[in-house]
Amino acid sequence: MMILDALILQIKLFLSEDMEISDIEVIETHDSTNLELDRLELRDYTSMIATGGKLNAMIVISYDMKLLNHLVEVFMDGEEVSDEEKQEIIDSVSGETINTIMGLALPQFPGRGKGVTITPPITVNDATNIKKYKNSRIISATIQTEYGCLSISALGSEDSIK
């Protein structure tokens, strides 16, 4: 699970060093090749980045709202946010977080990330799960913090996600 390991490491570093979270624990990992995992259950708020080139996959980060609200507070550094701006800022923080994680993890991917392209992040907040197709694979980890959980997952073909 080289890709998942790289994502987990970067999330832990990001949360502890940049987001002022000290209590971080990986509480479970899943691999659809070993289990009857046919779908990825999503949390309150989800952002995704697609990769292409030498790695065709979808990287998904899904947050408990309490944790995402904490990230927004840290990003905003105590600045007041109007109700009109709140949704846009939540989208921005969620997207910036997955962008940062991907950027930091990419050099640890197979081939040191050379030849891998990434798309801008997209936000999905009206879905409850993502279904796995026949010859695809899902690898996923759930990370618990004092502010709630997040899950980080990679979805792609059996041979592309390791």
Is 162 a domain residue?
Answer: no
Collapsing DSSP to helix, strand or coil, 162 comes out as coil
Residues spanned by the domain of 73: 2-157
Q: What is the CATH number of the domain that holds 13?
A: 3.40.1550.10
- 74-97, pLDDT tens digit by residue? 999 978 888 889 899 999 999 999
Residue 2 pLDDT exceeds 70: yes
Q: Which residues lie closer than 8 Å to 38 by C-beta, 6 or more apart?
A: 32, 131, 132
pLDDT in tens, 26-64: 998 888 776 656 778 899 999 999 999 888 899 999 999
Closest CA to 75 of 60, 61, 86, 64: 86
Antiparallel, parallel or unpaired: β 129-131 and 122-124: unpaired
Q: Report pLDDT for 11.
A: 96
Residue at 29 is within a domain: yes
pLDDT tens profile 125-162: 777 777 777 778 889 999 999 999 999 999 988 777 76
pLDDT computed for residue 22 by the predictor: 92
Q: What is the mean pLDDT of the chain?
A: 89
Number of domains the chain is built from: 1
Question: What does pTM read for this prediction?
Answer: 0.89
Q: Is 80 contained in some domain?
A: yes
